[in-house]
Chain A
Amino acid sequence: MENTALAHHLLLAGLLFVLGLTGVLIRRNLLVVYMCLELMLAAATLALVAFSRFNRTMDGAVLVFFVITVAAAEVAVGLALIVALFRKRGTVRSDALTTLRD
């Protein structure tokens, strides 16, 4: 019943990753940039699960478990940093944060 090949899943993962990378490059709202980073992470986990399923090993799936854990911790810290930044500078737009450039 299910006849998707490994290549199809990897293609989806690759395109998702490219979309996320494009978002990181063109968006200026730090929160949206951060969501695009998470999208790239999700694309990587998709590739891991696909490889794991097609190689009939459990290790890739367990690695995805850890990736989800680390991503949750990372999101909490990153959002706290963004809130701290907003409290100090009043903006979350990356083109308004040029102290180190000027």
Chain B
Amino acid sequence: MPDGLFIFFAALTLGAALLLVLSRNAVTSAMGMILALVGVAADFFLLDAYFLGVLQVLVYAGAVMVLFLFIIMLLDTEDPQGAYPWKTAALGLAVFFLLAASVLWLFHWSGAVPTAKAGATPPELSANPAEFVTAAKAFGRLLYTKYLLPLELAGFLLLVALVGVVSLSKDNPENKA
């Protein structure tokens, strides 16, 4: 039986994700998304990845979702239709139940994943900086040694995205319909 906190946050995450998928109102969907991301961050905390949990809340649930809410309110997109067309609903239900059933099968009956008893607790943390450490310092050390080139590329990617967004949202008269 897993930890009570894990069960609570897993239920919160899945419920919020359900809200995101099913809600008609885009703002409600965004609220569900924020809750789901906070739930994922809580799971990061339970996995001792504190730095990533904080990063997830700051970047995802904070900055990215504020951007989403801003655009949703800017564009004012209400859903005109009353109910889902039955074809869409049937497709969604079929995909969801097929995939969810296969996920459950994979974990409980296929034997491909070690059972809960085998790895009931995560391995003990060590002080060796090359292994999994909770401190943010470990991230810095890896980012500036082993992953220096990817870090530079990520910075460059952010620059490219910045320039791209500016050029996309510039009011170009040729783009007018």
A residues in contact (CB < 8 Å) with B: 1-12, 14-16, 18-23, 25-29, 31-32, 34-36, 38-39, 42-43, 45-46, 49-50, 52-59, 61-62, 64-66, 68-77, 79-84, 86-89, 92-93
Contact = CB atoms under 8 A, between A and B. Distances in A.
Most buried by B among A32, A53, A72, A73: A32
A58 B116 contact: no
A26 B92 contact: yes
Given A42-B40, A61-B52, A62-B147, A2 B121 contact: yes
A54 B13 CA distance: 21
Interface residues of B, number: 89
Is chain A's interface secondary structure helix, strand, loop, or mixed overall?
helix
A39 B49 contact: no
Interface in B147-169: 147, 150, 154, 157-158, 160-162, 164-165, 168-169
A68 to B, nearest CB: 5
Interface of B: 1-3, 6, 10, 13-14, 17-18, 20-21, 26, 29-30, 33, 36-37, 40, 43-44, 46-49, 51-52, 55-56, 59-60, 63-64, 67-68, 71-72, 74-75, 77, 79, 84, 88-89, 91-92, 95-96, 99-100, 103-104, 106-107, 113-123, 125-126, 130-133, 138-139, 142-143, 147, 150, 154, 157-158, 160-162, 164-165, 168-169, 175-177
